[in-house]
Structure formats: structure tokens, C-alpha cells
Amino acid sequence: ADEALVEGRGDFGDEEAGQSKAVGVIAVVGRPNVGKSTLVNRILGRRASVVEDTPGVTRDRISYDAEWAGRDFKLVDTGGWETDVEGIDSAIANQAEIAVRLADAVILVVDGQVGLTASDERIVKMLRASGKPITLAVNKVDDNASEYLAAEFWKLGMGEPMSISAMHGRGVGDLLDAAMKTLDEANTASGTLTPSGLRRVALIGRPNVGKSSLLNQLAREERSVVNDLAGTTRDPVDEIVDIDGEDWLFIDTAGIKRRLHKLSGAEYYSSLRTTAALERAELALVLFDASQPISDQDLKVMSQAVDAGRAVVLVFNKWDAMDEFDKQRLERLWKTEFERVTWAQRVNLSAKTGWHTNRLANAMRQALDSWDKRIPTGKLNAFLGRIQGEHPHPLRGGKQPRILFATQASSRPPRFVIFATGFLEHGYRRFLERSLREEFGFEGSPIQISVNVRE
Ligand code: GDP
Ligand code: GDP
């Protein structure tokens, strides 16, 4: 009966399959103090107090899930970090360049109370060169009487300046409407960029783990730059890399090769880039420098990939530089720090010598197979019925929550919805995940389980 219930829905949930579907990315840029953070907080519906971040402290997150008029998009917040780069002008230049490179569309914020400045004009020049669609927001126009403040910004030649008050919310809705429209244009324009059929790979890891070395080792002479193929000048640059006779699309290789980590604010840049690359990727190659102690930053990058719902292959690089001590240290860490990803395949290799790089392709294929996998509803329910019989949920207050039926709502990554008669406790969910993995595989892919309680 359970089977029939779900069958009628066909491929129910497929529209949600799009963890991997690219949503638009909007970057909010502008010189310091114009109100970027206030605007971002306003859009996210957060309390203004979040703005009071300690200056110079790199934020944990720079890209946020946002929603407007029923539509999801990513918001890249570039406010609040300028102070850790020397010289305001270079800070502005870098900020605008990086944020814009990663975004599909831009909201440029200027300060209506201060008026047009030379810095604003410099930013506009850079934005123009990027070719990304721009919406101009004149902030701090707090009431109707101040409307006239916006007029001056027509001079920028960016079309209509939209007056807003990020602090009071005034005009922010109209601004978002306009920004969403530019996002649509951007999506149509770049729709042909990615060659179809190739799997999209993000090569990630903190600075100096060997990303560009690995890319060079893999690509040798055989890589081609995708921008040329698509006939666009859009950054980031993706490259087709042949591994073991199969072509893969590596995302934002320009970012990998560019030595931005030599600049200050390196962690910020690399974190921005990771977020953006993951956004577009299906699979993450997470690189570690195995000859060094694994750092929190390493683990954070790994978590980002898992949380983004990407297929994952863990790569321990610089194996040629390891001694016995290093190896023992790593094996100890493996048991403690990597518990969260015991399902991921691990490849020890040397980007420098090429040792074991031929093992990557198999691990990548396996991870993506898992990521794509769909378990038929009948099979899933037969299995859950069996393990529930063998290991029922512990009694809770005299009652025993029971699984009624389950379905795989989507793949990429696999997401299961379980309908139960009561709340399933954490330990039992973990048990279910382990059991599903043992039965059906899923090596290399995160899986998500949500429980729907039917009273
Ligand atoms: P950011 O450096 O561009 O991120 O700017 P912030 O968001 O930190 O804002 C800089 C200052 O401008 C803060 O003191 C805000 O309270 C103030 N501010 C931001 N938006 C508005 C606004 O709409 N009206 C007024 N009057 N002040 C604002
Ligand atoms: P990225 O910042 O992650 O792109 O790292 P790079 O590729 O620039 O590498 C950082 C440093 O590590 C460079 O000095 C590389 O030569 C070195 N390196 C990279 N891979 C290996 C490796 O497999 N073995 C050794 N011994 N050094 C490596």
C-alpha cells in the first residue's frame, strides 16, 4: 500500500533535486560605511546588531541564502572586512574585483548623505569592465524629503539611482525587484557557458595545500579554457581537464592559479572563492597538506563542501614529503577529526611527483554515482521495514515511534523523507543513515534524512 501511495507522485521532489541547481549570486559592493552590511542584514531579516562585528575579523560566512518574492538567491556580503587590508583604495579595488567575479549580478551601494565621491567613480569603472549587470542603490535616503539626494548619482551613468534606507527598510523591496530582474538577464546570458555532459568539480582547500600544483599535474598540456569555447569573457574561468581518459570541468581555475593568498586578507578571498566554486560544482575535491598538521581551516573547508551537499573526495597531498611520524599523526587525526566524513573516499597522493593521481578519477566517479543514485521506493520501504523489525526505535514515554513509509525525495545529493508516528531521536536517525549506507552504498556522497511526523 505504501508503494502505491508514493507511486502516484511520479518523480516527486525532482524540482527540489536542485541542491546542485545554480541559484543566482548577488554581490553587495561599495566603499566602506555606505551601509552594505546594514542592507545585507535588512535583506536577510537579521538584527542590526550583527553589523557590529569586530573590524578586521574575517567573518565565518560571506555568502548567505536569501529569498525575495518566493525566489532563492545567494547574497555575498563584502562589508566589514576592509580594515584587514592595507590602504582603503586597494581594499576597494580587491573587494569589487573579487566579489564581482564571483557574482552573477551586483548591487552597488553609495551614500546619499555624503554624495558622489571619487571612490564611487573608481568602483563604477571596475564594475563596468566586468560586464556584470548592476543595480545602483543610494542609501541613507531616510525619508521623502531627502529624495533629492539620489539625483546626483545619475551622473554615474548607471541608469536610475534607486533611493533606499537600509536602516529603515525604505525602498529595499523595489531595489530587490530590480536586482532580481538583472539576475534573470545574467542567467540568460551565461546559460550556455557550461558545456553539458561534463561533471563539474571544485578543487578546494586552504592556501598552500597544493591546489594549483595538482591542477597542473592533472592538466599537463591537455587542458582547454572554457571561456574561449563559449565565446565569452566571463570570469571565473573554467577548464576542461582530462583525467584518465575522461573530461571533467574544473570550476574557477583562474582563482586557483592566481596567488591571492600572497595578499593580506587571504583567508577571506579563499573562503569567498570556495563558496562560489561549491555553488556551481557537483563534486568537491577537498585537498589537505598531509605533511602538516590538519588545521581548523582545513576542516572548515571540508565542512563547507559537505554542508553544500556536494559529492566529496578527500585528497591528502604532499605524500612524498611525509615521514613515519607525519603518517602516524595523520592516522590519529583521521579517527577523530574526520568522523563526519567516514563515507568519503580518501586518496593519498603527490601533486608534485604525480604519484597516485591516477586514483582520483575512480574515486570521483564513485562519489558522483552515489550522489546521483536513486533507490526505488519499494526497495527502500522493504529495507526499512526489515531493519525496523530487527532494531525498533527505543520506547519514549511508553510509546514507540514507528516508521510508516519512506521515499527518496531527490538525489544530488540523495535526500530521504521518512514518515513516522513520532519523533525519531538523533541516535536512531544516525543508525538509519548508517544502515542505508551499508545497504545501498552512497560512498562519497552526503545523504540527508528528514522525518515527517504523522500524528
Ligand atoms: P558598510 O561598511 O558599507 O557595511 O556600512 P554599515 O552597514 O556598517 O553602515 C555604516 C554606517 O551607516 C552605520 O553607522 C549605519 O548605522 C549607517 N547606516 C546604514 N544604513 C543607513 C541608512 O539607511 N540611514 C542612515 N541614516 N544611516 C545608515
Ligand atoms: P595552493 O595555494 O593550494 O594552490 O598550493 P600550491 O599548488 O601553490 O602549492 C603550495 C606549495 O606546496 C608549493 O611550494 C608547492 O610546490 C608545494 N607542493 C604542492 N604539492 C606538493 C607535493 O605533492 N609535494 C610537495 N613536497 N610539495 C608540494
Is 35 annotated among the ligand-binding residues? yes
Cβ atoms of residues 412 and 282 within 8 Å: yes
Which protein residue's CA is at the shortest distance from atom 20 of ligand 2? 210
For residue 186, the model assigns a pLDDT of 64
Cβ atoms of residues 183 and 105 within 8 Å: yes
Q: Looking at ligand 1, which atom is closest to the CA of residue 142?
A: 24
288-320 as b/e, with b when 16 or more CB fall inside 10 Å? Answer: bbbbeebeeebbebbebbbebbbbbbbbbbbbe
Rounded CA-CA distance 25/23 in Å is: 7
- Better-predicted residue by pLDDT, 133 or 271: 133
Q: Is the dihedral of CA 65, 70, 71, 76 positive or negative?
A: negative
Average pLDDT over residues 248-277: 68
For residue 64, the model assigns a pLDDT of 77
Task: Please determine, for residue 111, whether its predicted confidence score (pLDDT) is greater than 90.
Answer: yes
Q: Ligand 1 centre from 78 Cα, in Å?
A: 14
Q: pLDDT confidence of 380, banded at 50, 70, 90? A: very high
* 62 contact partners, CB below 8 Å, separation of at least 6: 76, 77, 78, 268, 271, 272, 275
Cβ atoms of residues 402 and 388 within 8 Å: yes
Q: pLDDT confidence of 10, banded at 50, 70, 90? A: very low
Task: Please determine, for residue 232, whether its predicted confidence score (pLDDT) is greater than 50.
Answer: no
Best mutation site among 75, 117, 163, 167 for ligand 1 pocket (most ligand atoms within 8 Å of CB): 167
pLDDT digits (tens, 9 = 90+) for 334-348: 999 998 899 999 999
285's grid cell: 575535491
Rounded CA-CA distance 363/156 in Å is: 51
Q: Ligand 1 centre from 87 Cα, in Å?
A: 21
For residue 58, the model assigns a pLDDT of 36
Q: Ligand 2 centre from 213 Cα, in Å?
A: 6
Task: Please determine, for residue 19, whether its predicted confidence score (pLDDT) is greater than 80.
Answer: no
pLDDT digits (tens, 9 = 90+) for 268-298: 666 777 888 888 899 999 999 999 999 999 9
Is 209 annotated among the ligand-binding residues? yes
3-state secondary structure of 48: helix
Which protein residue's CA is at the shortest distance from atom 24 of ligand 2? 318
For residue 195, the model assigns a pLDDT of 47
Whether 351 lines ligand 2, by a CB cut-off of 6 Å, is yes
Which protein residue's CA is at the shortest distance from atom 14 of ligand 1? 33
Is 68 annotated among the ligand-binding residues? no
Is 140 annotated among the ligand-binding residues? yes
- Other residues' Cβ atoms within 10 Å of the Cβ of residue 1: 5
Q: Which ligand is nearest to the CA of 112?
A: 1
DSSP class of residue 356? Answer: T
Cα→Cα distances 230→233, 251, 332, Å? 9, 14, 46
Question: Taking the chain, what is the end-to-end CA distance rounded to the nearest angstrom?
Answer: 19
Mean pLDDT over the full length of the chain: 79
In the chain, % of residues over pLDDT 90: 43
pLDDT digits (tens, 9 = 90+) for 168-207: 999 999 999 999 988 877 655 544 344 456 899 999 998 8
pLDDT digits (tens, 9 = 90+) for 392-438: 999 888 888 889 888 888 899 999 989 888 889 999 999 999 999 99
ipTM confidence: 0.58
Q: pLDDT confidence of 16, banded at 50, 70, 90? A: very low
Backbone angles phi, psi at 163, to 5 degrees: -80, 135
Whether 209 lines ligand 2, by a CB cut-off of 6 Å, is yes
Which protein residue's CA is at the shortest distance from atom 24 of ligand 1? 140
Task: Please determine, for residue 153, whether its predicted confidence score (pLDDT) is greater than 80.
Answer: yes
- Better-predicted residue by pLDDT, 390 or 160: 390
Whether 321 lines ligand 2, by a CB cut-off of 6 Å, is yes
Whether 208 lines ligand 2, by a CB cut-off of 6 Å, is yes
Q: Ligand 2 centre from 219 Cα, in Å?
A: 15
The predicted model scores a pTM of 0.60
Is 81 annotated among the ligand-binding residues? yes
